[in-house]
Amino acid sequence: MRGMATMTLDGNLSLQISKDPQKHRVVTEEIDGLIRVYNDGHVERFQIVPCVTSILPPEFGVNSGDIVIDKLSKIWARFYVPKYHGKKIPLLVYFHGGGFCVGSAAWSCYHDFLAKLAAGANCIIMSVNYSLAPENPLPAAYEDGFKALMWIKQQALSGVTDHQWWSSHCNFCNIFLAGDSAGASIAYNVALRIGDAAPPL
């Protein structure tokens, strides 16, 4: 992260000894307006984009919902399923951007964009919410991306799952990876790992 951020000190920060540890924290790393890291390990992210629930207006013609992928690592994904037209449709696995340290599958900009993309492209979209740095430095995000793909494989092999509302419409033989910014890097690294897997995935 040091290559991405500038070292700064908050001019409004009091360095006087206090019973409240928050009053004498020192900022060690900061990306202005995005994220601030303190010397005690505390991370503060600024809400530059609002997070929204999975609810969509009926006119979108898309059902959406959140599913936990891995409870231990707290990976979850938001699914977008367009109106069913009688055949199984492709799955697009999407990874959001944010320099590996900010961003969320719940950000309103991604929520609206991916809902419209699912409807326009007639595909199911799985938007993965992966671990962020600096709490979880790379390659954690890459590992989360691969775990998401392994979870999809498990759903495909199991046949009957608790998530029929999306899996019953999915053509598991037609899966694509995509992302923007840091998310594009995750998609690329996951694709490389899949290509090197033995036996093939």
The reported pTM is 0.85
Q: Are residues 117 and 192 in the same domain?
A: yes
Q: Are strands 35-38 and 62-70 parallel, antiparallel or unpaired?
A: unpaired
Q: Are strands 124-129 and 89-95 parallel, antiparallel or unpaired?
A: parallel
Q: Are residues 103 and 169 in the same domain?
A: yes
Asked if pLDDT for residue 20 goes beyond 90, the answer is: no
CATH code for the domain in which residue 86 is found: 3.40.50.1820
Structurally, the chain folds into a number of domains equal to 2
Least confident of 16-25, 45-54, 78-87, 156-165: 16-25
For residue 79, list its beta bridge partners: 65, 126
In 3D, which of 173, 160, 101 has the Cα closest to residue 131? 101
pLDDT of residue 158: 84
* 187, containing H or E segment: helix 182-196
The tens digit of pLDDT for each residue in 23-50 reads 558 999 999 999 999 999 999 999 999 9
Mean pLDDT of 75-103: 95
Mean pLDDT of 123-142: 98
CA 167 to CA 126: how far, in whole Å? 11
The tens digit of pLDDT for each residue in 4-13 reads 333 233 333 3
10 within domain boundaries: yes
Full residue range of the structural domain in which residue 133 is found: 58-196
The catalytic site residues sit at 181
CA 99 to CA 186: how far, in whole Å? 11
